[in-house]
Amino acid sequence: MGRNEIRLRRQKMSSGRIAQHRNYGEIMARHERDIKIRRTVRVFLYFLIIAFLLVLFIMVKRWEQKQGKVKEKTAWVLKSNGSTFTSAKTH
């Protein structure tokens, strides 16, 4: 078996027959549809990125708040421990 399939035609296809397949309106419609889809996907991607950054920002803020509270609590415990220690010493 050969590498290619060779077929022989008597003549070239006529311009009239080819013209039946010519339809620039359809190409334009498909192009516009593609542009719309691309635009929608782009907007959706931007939305996802912004949402992700927002969630990240909120998480960092919460973590910072949590850290702040832990520090406050530790300071308070240390402070109260310190006063107990000093009062125990005086006795």
Q: Which residues bind another protein (CB under 8 A)?
A: 2-13, 15, 17-18, 21-24, 26-28, 30-31, 34
Residue 25 three-state SS: helix
In Å, how far are 60, 78, 79 from 82, measured between CA atoms?
Answer: 32, 6, 5
In the complex, the smallest distance separating the C-beta of residue 25 from another protein, rounded to whole angstroms, is: 9
46/91 Cα distance (integer angstroms)? 67
CB of 14 to another protein, least distance (A): 10
Kindly state the smallest distance separating residue 39's Cβ from another protein, in Å.
13
Q: Which is nearer to another protein, 16 or 88 (CB)?
A: 16
Question: Judged by CB, which is closer to another protein: 29, or 51?
Answer: 29
CA 4 to chain centre: 46
